[in-house]
Amino acid sequence: MLFCKTNNMKKIENENWKANSQKYLKELQTFLDKAENIQNEELRKEIIFQMLKCDNELTILAEEMFNKYYIKGKEKLEDDD
């Protein structure tokens, strides 16, 4: 039996998938702890901001790939019927 997720359900999962990863959160906290030790306030803010921009781009890429594989899997299931 095929269960189809609504767009709302997919949106909720996409928003929470990183927050549910304990390993990701641990690594993020480690980075922020180390960044706190940077004496130059402007440099510290720039480094954190740049890391967050990179993280955001990686998140977008990962979510696009999740969606692509979800669609491919759904099409494969439909073709197998």
Q: How do residues 17-62 score in pLDDT, each as one tens digit? A: 788 889 999 999 999 999 999 999 999 999 999 999 999 999 999 9
Residue 13 lies in a domain: no
Residue 67 lies in a domain: yes
What total of structural domains would you count in the chain?
1
Q: Shortest CA distance to 71 belongs to which of 4, 1, 18?
A: 4
Q: Considering the entire predicted model, what is its pTM?
A: 0.65
- Which domain covers residue 53, as residue numbers? 23-80
Query: Is-contact 51 31, C-beta < 8 A?
Result: yes
How high is the pLDDT of residue 20? 85
In the block, which residue shows the tokens 């767009």?
Answer: 7
d(CA 74, CA 2): 8
Residue 3 lies in a domain: no
Residue 8 lies in a domain: no
Looking at per-residue pLDDT, the higher value among 10 and 34 belongs to 34
Residue 40 lies in a domain: yes
